Amino acid sequence: MGLNSFYLKQERDAAWRTELRKKTKNKDRMLINRVSMPELEPEIRVNYQDREVNRGLTRDMAMQEAIRCMDCANPTCIEGCPVSINIPKFIKNIERGEIQQAASVLKETSALPAVCGRVCPQEKQCEAQCFYVQKLNKPAVAIGHLERFAADYERENGEMSVPETAEPNGIKVATVGSGPAALSFAGDMIKKGYDVTVFEALHEIGGVLKYGIPEFRLPNSIVDKELENLQKMGVHFKTNFIVGRTASFDDLKEQGFQAFFIGSGAGLPRFMNIPGENYNGILSSNEYLTRVNLMGAQYDETDTPVLHGRRVAVIGGGNTAMDSVRTALRLGAEKAMIVYRRSEEEMPARIEEIKHAKEEGVEFHNLCNPLEYYGDEKGRVSGMKLMRMELGEPDASGRRRPVPMEGSEFEMDVDLVIVAVGVSPNPLVPSSLKELSVTKWGTIVVDENDMQSSIPEMFAGGDIVRGGATVILAMGDGRRAAEKMDHFLQGKYAVN
Amino acid sequence: MNKVVEKEFFSEKVVRLVVEAPLIARARKAGNFVILRVGKKGERIPLTIASADAEKGTIDLVAQVVGVSTSKLAELEPGDYITDLVGPLGKPTHIEKVGTILAAGGGVGVAPLLPIVEAFKKAGNRVITVLAARSRDLIILEDQMRQWSDELIVMTDDGSHGRKGLVTAGMEEILQREKVDECIVIGPAIMMKFAALLTGKYKVPTQASLNSIMVDGTGMCGACRVSVGGKTRFTCVDGPEFDAHHIDFDEMLMRLGGYREEEKEALERYHLQHKLVEK
């Protein structure tokens, strides 16, 4: 994606990089221990929904960690990054103390570096491909922490640089949705000179970054800052606008929009369809997190209500489940529990999130699955029946399949249940574009390489295509779609 | 931001607002709704569109003041702005020529029923409408409804206007008298429940438009789920209208009370604040 090996070699041969490599021997680099991220103490952080747990690196810590990176001739870390950040280049800029430049490098390929530095599963991506992990069996260079540091440092110290944009070409394109896929697409398209409008159904821009990810992990103010940057580059934002409803695709085409990127994300929350699941006090993680993150329901001065539970069970083992259970703790739960049908090893959540949850006192009930809910006379959930599970052979997902243990049923008192077992794609766009090809699960069918749908001028990416994935994969889709849409539109204009 | 251009109170607690929303006015169909928010700290609430003027670019909203959000909405004056307004949402009513339609509306449910009655009439149906409320001052849009109805019956609980009795009494009179091909009911959940039981007895296909609790209105949060024919459906994207004979109204009534205590507390805080401000 724009970073070919010739370019990387050229960059690596720059005088300052060569000099830095000579300055410290690799042997000495390897002797440095990986930096650990300072964190807010668990006893304090459980009292605040909006205080970040990870506190970021100091400049000294970051520069020390940057020395560890050996500036490999073949930087495999880049291959592990869905948006192909030029990782050695930004890290080496930190090593020499040019933090602003490090931030600019990040923004060459990522529209949201401060976000990625916080929520990407780096341990499974760039860091998993690091030389230290691959060849030395040592902890990877803390690429994620360094990314966050560079982005934060730039934001907090003086002017944020605005990436260069090409001369406007006058071609209007639009995104449907304003989450990570759409924003990453918008960032790349504006750089290429397109006239980009981002349409959002909610009253705030940011999609899942705002409604889904709690502020103790990703403060909304940080998302806003990154959005401001896109705005400065010239991206137009329109909230309270549902493409296909407020105006049809045809209406927008009439207004001059030539192509669309559909990044409408995950929609319908999944439930387990077990008895009693519609009792009050049983809600989706989307509802719970939206009430808190987007609507500020935990504060008296806001009008949106939220249910408070004394004994809260969160069903699921992903990041969203961790976000929900930790939110419940912060909203005053006496007991906040994860109920997950496999073992901790199979949990899709990041190891860091599981660790943070445990430190905060979350109880883990692994290898358990709810069978039924009970309610009180007012229709509020009061308890649940569960069954213990054991692990069988691996299933299609490659993880060991949970198998119910006969006769292991038991009951648990709960007064709030949050169901975080996944989401289905948002049905709004497919329902308003009958000719669009969708799978039986409702995801939009695209060519994997160019993210183009069955309608040539419609590209799509993120959860509406993947059906529930990570921020960074969505951003990778957005970038790829931008590149391909650019080819598509340039081809169209060349012919005309 | 959408400007309020007109406001009138139908009764002490029921307000009609005409709001500038040109795109929605053009795109909306009978049965659609909007989600709005009053103030930066406001809550997202769904309201059905009572009518629209595509030329003027306005939509009519009718709301009953119950909690904090509807109180804030009712306090807006012409010239004020609604902070956020999005729509049209939900599936439009399926309108075709079927013969005789029986439309029953209770309380503020009459507002969203109006465009449906109009659309059925324009599609060539014979439309009989029953309007119901507790008392005379709570009957709304009577003249507008009469304009699109072949026959109009008004029922009040206390007999202060029209006939004395519940909506079902008016409906049953029609069902006994003639063949009805389809029925649509909109109003409080309890009213729709008994209306559905009645039309079930007469085997008349019936649609009910549900007023579930919602947050985003685009299918994301699942707060609006209802059981229809034993399956969980989302009112915002699968509805708001469903086959009334298969809706689990008891569950729906229970779910409507899901945030009652929180809402009560919020309303008390709001009244307290208001008193402080007035002093």
Q: What is the pLDDT of residues A81-135, one digit of tens each?
A: 988 999 999 999 999 999 999 999 998 888 889 999 999 889 999 999 999 999 9
Please tell me the pTM assigned to this model: 0.94
CA nearest B258 in A: which residue? Answer: A280
A53: its two tokens: 């747990």
Q: Do A379 and B254 touch (CB under 8 A)?
A: yes
Looking at every residue in chain A, the average pLDDT score rounds to: 93
Q: Is the pLDDT of residue B278 over 60?
A: no
Task: Report residue A153 CA to chain centroid gap.
Answer: 21
Q: Which of A240, A286, A307 sits opposite B222 (nearest CB)?
A: A286
Shortest CA gap B99–chain A (Å): 29
At residue B232, the 3 state secondary structure works out as strand
Q: Residues, chain B, total?
A: 279
**CA B99 to chain CA mean position, Å:** 24
pLDDT in tens, chain A (496 residues): 446 788 899 999 999 999 999 999 999 999 999 999 999 999 999 999 999 999 999 999 999 999 999 999 999 999 999 889 999 999 999 999 999 999 999 988 888 899 999 998 899 999 999 999 999 999 999 999 999 999 999 999 877 778 889 999 999 999 999 999 999 999 999 999 999 999 999 999 999 999 999 999 999 999 999 899 999 999 999 999 999 999 999 999 999 999 999 999 988 899 999 999 999 999 999 999 999 999 999 998 999 999 999 999 999 999 999 999 999 999 999 999 999 999 999 999 999 999 999 999 999 999 999 999 999 999 999 999 999 999 998 888 788 889 999 999 999 999 999 999 998 888 888 888 889 999 988 899 999 888 999 999 999 999 999 887 888 889 999 999 999 999 999 987 765 4
Q: How far apart are CA A475 and CA B11, in angstroms?
A: 52
Q: Which distant-in-sequence residues (6+ apart) come within 8 Å of B109 by Cβ? A: B185, B186, B187, B188, B191, B209, B211
Tokens representing A149 are: 């540091």
For chain B, the residues whose C-beta falls within 8 A of a C-beta of chain A are 23-24, 27, 37, 39, 41-44, 68-69, 72, 83-89, 215-216, 218-223, 225, 227, 232, 234, 237, 251, 254-255, 257-259, 262-263, 266, 269
Query: Which residue would you say has higher pLDDT here, B279 or B18?
Result: B18
Sequence-separated (6 or more) residues with CB below 8 Å from residue A1: A83, A84, A109, A479, A480, A483
Instruction: Give pLDDT tens digits for A304-323.
Output: 999 999 999 999 999 999 99
**Largest distance between two CA atoms of chain B:** 60
Q: What is the predicted ipTM?
A: 0.94
pLDDT tens-place string over residues B137-165: 899 999 999 999 999 999 999 999 999 99
If contacts are CB pairs under 8 Å, which of residues 190-229 in chain A contact chain B? 201-203, 211
Say how many C-beta atoms besides its own lie within 10 A of residue B51's C-beta. 21
Locate tokens 């909109």: which residue?
B186
Chain A: give the shortest CA distance to residue B219, in Å.
Answer: 5
CA-to-CA distance for B178 and B185, rounded, in angstroms?
Answer: 18
Put simply, the chain A residues between 48 and 107 with a CB less than 8 A from any chain B CB are: none
Query: Closest Cα to residue A75, out of A65, A64, A61, A85?
Result: A85
Identify whether the C-beta of residue A231 lies closer than 8 Å to the C-beta of residue A198: no
